C-alpha cells in the first residue's frame, strides 16, 4: 500500500476515498451504506459488489467524490470462502430458499473432492432467478416472485470463470471451499451446477468474501469497530481500512499532470501538451490522471481521447 497520507484537502470532516467494511450476516449491503452514512455524517456513500444478507465479508464502500470510481472498480476479480450442502435444491439455490427437491443419493469424499477440483475454468452457467440481474429491463427476482407457476429457477446463461480452487474441508455431504472468480460470476450458480452434475442437488449455506482485486478482508472493519474508531481517528495517519483515491488506484494506469494540464482537465478539456504526451503512451483504456496525489480526472483512450470523469478536489 502506498504511504501517502489521507486526503485532507476537502471541506472539514468531509472524507473522500474507500472504506473496507466487514459486513455481518443478516444485513443487506444497503444497510451497511446507510450505517456508514450515519457514522461519517455524509450522504455521499456507495458500494461495489453487492453481498446478499446470508453472506458476510468484504464490502468496498466509496465516500465523497470517490463514488464516481464505482464503475471503474466494479470489474475486479473476487475471492470467496463458501460452504455448501448436498442433498437438496431450493428456489434461491441457498439454504434460505423454498425446498424444491431432496435427493437420497450421496457421494464419497473422494468423488466430491474430485468433482470440486474439476469444476474450474471458464463456464457458461445459468444465473439464479433470485438475483438482481436485469433481463429486458426487469430484475430476475421480480420475475421469480411474480410467477407462482415457475418451476425452473435457472436464469439466462452467463460466462463465468473460477480458478485457484481449494478444498478446505469435507464433512459428510457438506464441503467448504475457496476460489477466485471473475466479475459478474455467481457463487450460487457454481454450487447449483455442481450439485446438478453430481446428481445430488446442492445449496449454499455460508458465504464470505475475502478479496476484491487487491482489497482484502484482512484490512476491513465492521461498522461497530469503525463507529468506535471514527471519533478519535487522526486523518493524517494512514489507516488500512481507509484508502485515498491515490492509494486505492495503485495498480491501475496512472498519469501525472502539471498545473496547466490539471486546470484544463478540471474544466473538462485536454490541453494540446497533454494530448501529445498521451499519444506517445501506446495505451488503450482508462487512464487515471493525478496532480501529485490528487485525482483530477479519468480519460478513456481509444480512437480518440474522451474525458470520462472530472474530480474537483480528490
* Residues catalogued as catalytic: 52
Distance CA 186, CA 297 (A): 32
Distance CA 172, CA 84 (A): 11
Distance CA 305, CA 284 (A): 10
Backbone angles phi, psi at 20, to 5 degrees: -100, 110
- 35 to 27, 43, 45, 175: CA distances (angstroms): 11, 10, 10, 33
Nearest C-alpha neighbor of 60 from the set 207, 170, 217:
217
Distance CA 290, CA 313 (A): 11
Amino acid at each position: 500500500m502506498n504511504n501517502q497520507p489521507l486526503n485532507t484537502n476537502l471541506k472539514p470532516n468531509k472524507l473522500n476515498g474507500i472504506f473496507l467494511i466487514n459486513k455481518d450476516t443478516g444485513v443487506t449491503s444497503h444497510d451497511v451504506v446507510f450505517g456508514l452514512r450515519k457514522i461519517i455524517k455524509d450522504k455521499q456513500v456507495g458500494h461495489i459488489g453487492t453481498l446478499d444478507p446470508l453472506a458476510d465479508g468484504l464490502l468496498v464502500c466509496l465516500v465523497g467524490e470517490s463514488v464516481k470510481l464505482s464503475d471503474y472498480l466494479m470489474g475486479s476479480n473476487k475471492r470467496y470462502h463458501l460452504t455448501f450442502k448436498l442433498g437438496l435444491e431450493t428456489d434461491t439455490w441457498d439454504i434460505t430458499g423454498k425446498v424444491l427437491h431432496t435427493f437420497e443419493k450421496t457421494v464419497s469424499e473422494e468423488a466430491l473432492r474430485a468433482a470440486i477440483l474439476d469444476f474450474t475454468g471458464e463456464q457458461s452457467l445459468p444465473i439464479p432467478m433470485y438475483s438482481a440481474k436485469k433481463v429486458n429491463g426487469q430484475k430476475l427476482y421480480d420475475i421469480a416472485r411474480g410467477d407462482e407457476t415457475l418451476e425452473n429457477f435457472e436464469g439466462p446463461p452467463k460466462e463465468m470463470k473460477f480458478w485457484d480452487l481449494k478444498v478446505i474441508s469435507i464433512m459428510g455431504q457438506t464441503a467448504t471451499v475457496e476460489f477466485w472468480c471473475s466479475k459478474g460470476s455467481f457463487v450460487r450458480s457454481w454450487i447449483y451446477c455442481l450439485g446438478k452434475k453430481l446428481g445430488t442437488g446442492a445449496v449454499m449455506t455460508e458465504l464470505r468474501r475475502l478479496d476484491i482485486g487487491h482489497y482484502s478482508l484482512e484490512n476491513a472493519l465492521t461498522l461497530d469497530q469503525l463507529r468506535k474508531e471514527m471519533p478519535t481517528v487522526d486523518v493524517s495517519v494512514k489507516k488500512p481500512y481507509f484508502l485515498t483515491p491515490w492509494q486505492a488506484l495503485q495498480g491501475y494506469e496512472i498519469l501525472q499532470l502539471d498545473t496547466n494540464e490539471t486546470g484544463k482537465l478540471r474544466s473538462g478539456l485536454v490541453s494540446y501538451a497533454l494530448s501529445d504526451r498521451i499519444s506517445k503512451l501506446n495505451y488503450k483504456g482508462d487512464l487515471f490522471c493525478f496532480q501529485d496525489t490528487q485525482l483530477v480526472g479519468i480519460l478513456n483512450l481509444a480512437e480518440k481521447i474522451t474525458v470520462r470523469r472530472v474530480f474537483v478536489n480528490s
